[in-house]
């Protein structure tokens, strides 16, 4: 399968995943979180309490700001054929693979992003990792470049959360 198909698939899947989260996050925080709060370890509750009053609009801003950075890197990867940039963005998002299903199992309830994680993200990454493992695109240099991209994305991720939280 051509790399461009993987890139387009990635963009579609994460757009749908982010839309599911945006649509559901505010309702989940208001209705479900108070009911399951006691199941969450206190150290994690402290972090979640920062988002106690998050709105769908604020979460959409977080996703929008972060998506700008991801889109720029993916565009550069396509134009320059430096696909380690795409691999880095892809691996950063891969950290999200089991987050939602594990949260749902632990809390015994739906969590925003669960459906697209199960139906789209896990199948995509199963095929993606299998395909890239069997190509010449997965080399030591591409992995090191991808790790550098992931490290750069950490402060961008935090910045997007700061911007989104200030949005009213």
Give the integer Cα–Cα distance in Å for 39 and 37: 5
Domain, as residue range, for 29: 3-166
Give the global pTM: 0.88
Q: How many C-beta atoms lie closer than 10 Å to residue 110's C-beta?
A: 14
Q: Quick one: tokens of 65?
A: 């700001």
Residue 33: partners with Cβ closer than 8 Å, 6 or more residues away: 48, 52
Residue 77: partners with Cβ closer than 8 Å, 6 or more residues away: 7, 83, 84, 85, 86, 89
- Residues of the chain with pLDDT below 70 are 1
Q: What burial class does residue 34 get, using C-beta atoms within 10 Å of its C-beta: 0-12 exposed, 13-18 middle, 19+ buried? A: exposed
Q: What burial class does residue 168 get, using C-beta atoms within 10 Å of its C-beta: 0-12 exposed, 13-18 middle, 19+ buried? A: exposed
When divided into structural domains, the chain yields a total of: 1
Taking only the tens place, the pLDDT of each residue in 76-91 is 999 999 999 999 999 9
Candidates 151, 148, 38, 18; CA nearest to 82 is 148
């Amino acid at each position: 399968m051509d790399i461009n198909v993987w890139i387009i698939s990635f963009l579609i899947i994460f757009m749908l995943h982010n839309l599911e989260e945006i649509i559901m996050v505010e309702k989940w925080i208001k209705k479900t979180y108070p009911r399951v709060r006691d199941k969450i370890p206190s150290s994690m509750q402290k972090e979640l309490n920062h988002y106690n009053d998050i709105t769908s609009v604020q979460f959409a801003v977080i996703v929008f700001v972060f998506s700008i950075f991801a889109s720029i890197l993916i565009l550069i990867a396509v134009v320059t054929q430096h696909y380690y940039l795409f691999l880095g963005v892809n691996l950063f998002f891969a950290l999200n693979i089991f987050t939602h299903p594990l949260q749902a199992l632990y809390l015994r309830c739906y969590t925003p992003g669960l459906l697209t994680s199960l139906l789209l993200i896990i199948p995509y990454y199963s095929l993606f990792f299998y395909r890239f493992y069997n190509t010449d695109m997965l080399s030591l240099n591409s992995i090191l470049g991808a790790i550098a991209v992931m490290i750069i994305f950490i402060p961008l991720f935090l910045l997007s959360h700061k911007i989104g939280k200030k949005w009213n």
